[in-house]
Every structure is written in structure tokens, then in C-alpha cells.
Structure 1
Amino acid sequence: MSEEKVKEWSARQKFARFLEEHKKRKTPERFVILEKIFSSQAHVGAEALYNLLLADGYRVSRATVYNTLDLLVEAGLVRRVTLGDGMTRYERVSGSINHHHLICTRCGKVKEVKAVNTVAELLPKKPRSFEPAYYTLYIYGMCSSCARREQMMRAGTTEKSR
């Protein structure tokens, strides 16, 4: 079994326990939503997830998507993130909880990179009344594809102006 499938299976087990402990129904729709998030490498918004489910032939309501996302966040399996455009997206919680997001300001592409011990650099002296749980750093710039495209456009503009 691949590492991704193991993570997804483990998440299914944890979600099933969470639903039982909170006396919530274990519906197929909830597990399909979990599966879609864990199979996606992207940060997905609720509406995009809803549309993806419909396109794949699942009959699920918007309310079910939003409510299930809330349950997944509460269960600690999914995290809400806002990547600078004001839209809430969701990412699976797996591997290192501390990571950075490289966000292209042109196309909106998001890439996750593993964090080094940034908290020690940001908080060299731990505040007495604060216990850090996790952190995420957003770094904005231009992805290599957009940078290449812009460089080609500049080169074309320079040649035309000669």
C-alpha cells in the first residue's frame, strides 16, 4: 500500500472514531469528502470541492460539504488556510504540521515546503504566557512558469521597441 493510501486509511479510522465519540452519523458522503481532500495535492475551497464531487457523480449538498469540512477541522484532520486572496481553503493535516506556503502572485499556484526550525528564529526567547502549537509562513512571489512567461514577454517587448 502506498504511503498516501496509508495516510488516507489512517485518517478514515481517526474520522470514524471522532464521529462515534461525538455521536455523529458515519455517512458515505462524509468519507467521500475526506477521501477527496486527502487525494488532492492542492488547497481546496469548499465550493471547488462541492463542484468536484458533483462532477464525479456524487449527490451531496453544499451544506453537507461545509458541515463535513467543519467536522474534519474539529477532528484535526484538515486545517483551514487563507492564502492572501481572502478565500478559505482546506488542506489535509499530515506529515509536518509546520510548513511554508510559496504563493505565486500571478497565477495563484501554491506550493508547500517543509519548514526548518523557524519558530526558534522568530521567537528566540519563548514568551512566558504563550505556548506555540504550530505555525505556517506565507511567502509571496512568482513561480518559475510565470517568471519565464514574464521574461519572454519582456524580451518580445524589447525587440519590438528596437
Structure 2
Amino acid sequence: MARYSSERKAALLKKLLPPLNLSVAELARLEGISEQTLYNWRKQAKAEGAAVPGDKKLPDDWPAEAKFAVVVETAMLSEIELSEYCRSKGLYPEQVKAWQQACIAGQQSSREQKLAEQAQARADKKRIKELERELKRKEKALAEAAALLVLRKKLNAYWGDDSEEE
């Protein structure tokens, strides 16, 4: 069984990331290393908290663990450093910021989530009441129009005036 240095492993795992985005099968074929070895290395890197994508190539399709690892890695970076990091990984700074917001939203306390849900429920109830009020108004207008049509028809029948058709 061949032994590989940690630098060699890191270099090979980097080829799985953007911009190269090689699949495990392609990398195994190119480097002459078994696929299972590469899968094991990728699994170890994920366990250590490295930003290693799954089998999907697009960053938005990465598993949550990989996205979280990117957020942790970039948490203390300046705008310039973040841009350099994103270029090296094939990401956009907007993606990383969106992932940060998702992490923050996921960490809201249950009290904050409950308050947000209550506010949404109040807004929904208010909208429902407005819609019901509008529906009642329209139903009344429709009933009034129908009553006027019936009365006109009866009045025309009473006077014997069938010629008026509107």
C-alpha cells in the first residue's frame, strides 16, 4: 500500500475543488490513485472541517457541512482577502455572504423564531380579514345587481314590454 505525503493529499483534494472541479473518477484516472483512496481522503478532510464539496460540482449544490466550513474559514477575512479566497475556490463573495446569513438565521434562538412566526401570523390574519371584507363587499354588489335585473325583468313583464333587451 502506497503512502502519500499530506502535501500530496492536499494538492489532490484541491483538484476536486473549483476552478478545476474534477470528479473523483477523473482524478483517480489522471493520477493513478484508486477512487476509494480519494473518497477516504475526502471523507477525512470533511471530518476535519475542510471545505470539500460532495459529488456535485456547483458550489450552491455543496452539502451544508462544506458551506459551513467555508463560512468558518472566511469569518475573519477582510473584503479583499475574501475576494482572493473566493477566486481560489471558484466562489463568489455573494454566495459566501448568503451562506453566512443562512447560518445566522439557523442559529436564531427559539424565542426570536417564535416572535418572527407570531408577527407573520398577525400579518396573515390582517390580510385575511381585508380579503374577507372585500369578498363580502363584492358579494353584496353582485346580489344587488342580480336583484335589479330580476326587478327589471318583472317590471317589463308587468308592462308587457318584451322589446327592451339590454
Give the greater-gyration-radius structure (CA): 2
Q: Which is bigger in relative contact order (C-alpha 8 A, separation at least 6)?
A: 1
Please, what TM-score do these two structures have when normalized by structure 1?
Answer: 0.35
Please, what TM-score do these two structures have when normalized by structure 2?
Answer: 0.34
Hey, which of these two has a bigger chunk of helix by percent?
Answer: 2
Hey, which of these two has a bigger chunk of strand by percent?
Answer: 1
